[in-house]
Structure 1
Amino acid sequence: MAAKLKALLNAQENKHDITRNLPSLTFESALDEEEQRILYLRQQSHAHTTLVSASCSFLVSILNEVRQIRADLAKTSQQRRAIQLLTADTLPKNPLKIGLIGCGRLGSHLVHALLSFGEVNPADIQISTRRPETLNTLKEKGVSVIYNNIEVASKVHLLFVCVLPSQLNKVLEEICQNLDKQTLVYCLVNHTTSHRLKRLLQSVNIFIPSFVFDNSTSNAWNSCMSVEEALKDEQMVRKCCPLSNEGKGSCVHLTEKWVELVICAFINQCSDLQLTSRDALDLLHGICMGLDKLEKGTANRFVERDFIINWDDDDTEPRRFPKFDLSKIHENDSHVIKKLRTSQILQEGFTKKFLSVFRSHDDVHEQTDERN
């Protein structure tokens, strides 16, 4: 209630601001004709940063969620009840450990987004950067900031690589011998390939997001908002979701391949957590798609054969999925993405779940304001 009242007051103040939207006071008014022609780059840069922050926050949120559920499944019903009573509103169980190598402008926005929307405890984030002294704000929040790539890479479940292209080879060669094979490496370095990362890291658990830049729609992106403000605005978040109509038409957008990689990375983590294929698929529909009530056997539900063509459905013994080679998924379409493209229910479910990650943040803050 307090948050809504504050927004209403701000709207009333803006109504009486005679300088609001005055063309002579805008950023564009000081640009000459040549600079005006490349103004779209400003929108694209802001859109790319917001999209990276949103998509990574979503990925971290669902990977964290399945880890909490797995931790609960390991307990008896009596133990779970006792733990729920004792640990209500406290730190998550078996949290996802996150690392960043390189933390410039993009990395900094990413970390702030994870803390705000990814439900991540600051103590579960480790950063390695050449200039730790520039990240005092994150240090004060409890994030570990050092300059030791090997130490960070060896202690995390998910590693974001945010270095310059010229630094990538050296960094990967430095960490490859100390990287756990279960660690998911999410590379945000431009102009690199899955084959290159696989060769340098000797790992198949590699995730490279593919972005599409559309110059014709850049003017439709509101770059006047901060990244954090954009992630609190539902219309802006819709533009960050690759399966929403708004996302497909945004000036910078992720392809459907990103969703396929998210799904396979999620299944890989379920296998790492010793979950059977049936449990993994149930959690996939419930956590990633927001479709926990989707009946089994329907055409809109993923089955084992969507991932493994020669899967034996007659085998009654519970089995885990094998570890998927994400580097190959970058280049070839599987039955997963084919089903995703043809199922409106799956697309709508994924979009709804994507939006909920950022909407739940507002609900938490609104409840806090009401208690205060």
Structure 2
Amino acid sequence: MDMLKDLESLQFEYGVPEENRTWLYLQGRSRGLIIEACAHATFFCKLFYVLRQSLDENQISMCLSSGSCDLAIPDESLKVGIIGGGHLGKQLAQVLLQLVPIPADSLRISTRRPETLDELQKVGVQCFYHNSFLVKWANVIFLCCLPSQLPNICLEIQSSLEKACIVFSFTAAIPITRLKLLLNHTNILRPQYQCAGDFVNIWGTNKEIATALQDPVILRATCPYSPAGGITLNIKWLEGIFYAALNTCTTKSMYHSSVLELLNQLFLSVHFKDCGEDRASCPKFQLTDFVSKVYAKNLPQKSSFPWFDLTSVQLKETPFSQHLSKNTALQDHLTLLYCSSFGVSLIRELQVVSTGSPSQEEKRPQEPDVSSATD
């Protein structure tokens, strides 16, 4: 509840001189950017929460079928770390707890002022100031710090980063190429947002962000392909998510055929109503959607995908870029998956048929760099 809602003299706008009121749209834009960031981080965590659970189940199944099961099978639950406990870091933590939902003991925050996060600590989130300790523990690290703080933070954590740990940066002023150098790390995702000149403030003012993301108008405006609200997302980030999923599977030495089957099951599991009549027309991931035809031809059947440099994926043209840009059915299905993962229908008149649960939801060849696999 907003206690100041009906008290006009205590509203932020009341104290702004008339000549400066043209700049008030920046307040709405700032809120829109935070909502977009929290929405995309939530979508990412939902997908990887389900992916890691499936990998865990797959490992147990293989173990039992082989008859040589090791009782110390690692827990594949998603462990999320946030560096920075300011406005964005605090909002992100609350949204992830409510909407993924990530258990409180699977979320930790490192900040210079952990005493300011009393509400999160009360629900079981560990808050402390030890960046390298956090990085050693987490599968995913969200950077929610100021650009001026980032070089020192990178210096602290780079030696503690595991190859498979995904770094998700919201520090907009630091380009991904610079971040790669600072961290000496290739498993990095960095969404880029573009604000249009004709900004439309649909983002609301009084709702908590988790509540706002249950509003169909606001949620649809955060869709990767949506220009609504005057804020757009660079679609290369969406490509990066899929290559990050491939890297996660590669760390488990899964054969590429099994990986494709798993991605189809998890990420293309939500369909439009008319898909039931002609399921053959629905998109399916193929090997050549992610690697070049030449590389695919020489890839042994019983081998994993190569390790992909996510910074290159987000900066260069890839086979998936070309496939995604030409395949409107795939774009529609991914948009449908995005909305349904928040429990919102894409279009009111369309009904969704789900075949999965997206909202709970021999030796490998020498690993080439991304260019040899995707050029």
Q: Give the C-alpha shift of residue 300 in structure 1.
A: 3.4
- Which structure has the highest helix share of the two? 1
For 1:155-194, list aligned pairs within 5 A: 155-194=137-176
Q: How far apart, in 2, do the equivalents of 1:187 and 1:333 lie? A: 21
8 A contact 2:85–2:114 mirrored in 1: no
Which of the numbers 12, 19, 39 marks the counterpart of 1:54? 39
In structure 2, do the counterparts of structure 1 residues 26 and 168 end up closer, same or farther at CA, with 3 Å as the change threshold? closer
2:349 is matched with none
In structure 2, do the counterparts of structure 1 residues 140 and 26 end up closer, same or farther at CA, with 3 Å as the change threshold? closer
3-state secondary structure, aligned to 1:250: helix
3-state secondary structure, aligned to 2:81: strand
Q: Deviations over 1:66-107 (max 9, x none)?
A: 111111112349979xxxxxxxxxxx9520111111110001
2:181 is matched with 199
For 1:212-361, list aligned pairs within 5 A: 212-243=194-225, 247-290=226-269, 300-309=283-292, 310-313=294-297, 317-359=301-343
In structure 2, do the counterparts of structure 1 residues 219 and 250 end up closer, same or farther at CA, with 3 Å as the change threshold? closer
Structure 1 gaps, min length 5: 1-19, 81-91, 361-372
- Residue 40 (1) aligns with residue 19 (2): no
Give the aligned length: 328
Q: Give the C-alpha shift of residue 274 in structure 1.
A: 2.5
1:363 is matched with none
2:190 is matched with 208
Q: How far apart, in 2, do the equivalents of 1:196 and 1:334 lie? A: 21
Q: How far apart, in 1, do the equivalents of 2:206 and 2:327 lie? A: 36
Q: How far apart, in 2, do the equivalents of 1:223 and 1:215 lie? A: 20
The one-letter amino acid paired with 1:107 is G
Q: How far apart, in 1, do the equivalents of 2:25 and 2:172 lie? A: 19
Q: How far apart, in 1, do the equivalents of 2:162 and 2:55 lie? A: 20
Q: How far apart, in 1, do the equivalents of 2:42 and 2:126 lie? A: 19
Structure 2 gaps, min length 5: 66-73, 345-375
Q: How far apart, in 2, do the equivalents of 1:25 and 1:279 lie? A: 59
Q: Give the C-alpha shift of residue 175 in structure 1.
A: 0.8
- Residue 108 (1) aligns with residue 90 (2): yes
Q: CA RMSD in A?
A: 3.0
In structure 2, do the counterparts of structure 1 residues 299 and 77 end up closer, same or farther at CA, with 3 Å as the change threshold? closer
Identical aligned pairs, as a percentage?
A: 28
Q: Deviations over 1:124-181 (max 9, x none)?
A: 1111100010001111111111100110011111011111111100000111111111
In structure 2, do the counterparts of structure 1 residues 324 and 217 end up closer, same or farther at CA, with 3 Å as the change threshold? same
Q: Deviations over 1:181-231 (max 9, x none)?
A: 111111111211222111121111111111111231233443343312211
Which of the numbers 131, 144, 156 marks the counterpart of 2:113? 131
The one-letter amino acid paired with 1:344 is T
Q: How far apart, in 2, do the equivalents of 1:242 and 1:312 lie? A: 29
So what's the TM-score if we normalise by structure 1?
A: 0.80
